[in-house]
Amino acid sequence: MPFVATTSSPSTELFYVDVGAGQPVVLIHGFPLSYASWENQINALVGAGYRAIAYDRRGFGASGKPVGGYDYDTFASDLNDLITSLDLHDAVIAGFSMGGGEVARYIGRYGSGRLSKIMLLGSITPFLLKTADNPDGAPKDLFDGMTDSVTKDRISFLDTFFTNFYNWDQPHDGISDDLIPYSKFLAWPASAIATQQCIEAFGTTDFRADIAKIDIPTLIVHGDADRIVPFPISGKKSAAMIKGSRLEVLKGAPHGFAATHPAQLNALMLDFLK
Q: Which residues are catalytic?
A: 97, 226, 255
Say if CB 21 and CB 7 are below 8 A apart: no
Q: How far is CA 45 from CA 24, 137, 273, in A?
A: 10, 34, 10
Q: For residues 206 and 251, what is the distance between their CA atoms, to the nearest angstrom? A: 27
What phi and psi values does residue 150 have, to the nearest 5 degrees? -65, -40
CB-CB contact of 242 with 211 (8 Å): yes
- What does the alpha-carbon distance between residue 221 and residue 236 come to, in Å, rounded to a whole number? 10
Q: Is the Cβ–Cβ distance between 97 and 229 less than 8 Å?
A: yes
> What is the separation, in whole angstroms, between the first and last Cα of the chain?
31
Residue 211 neighbours by CB under 8 Å, 6+ apart = 104, 125, 126, 238, 241, 242
Other CB atoms closer than 10 Å to residue 197's CB: what's the count? Answer: 18
**74 vs 68: CA distance, rounded Å:** 9
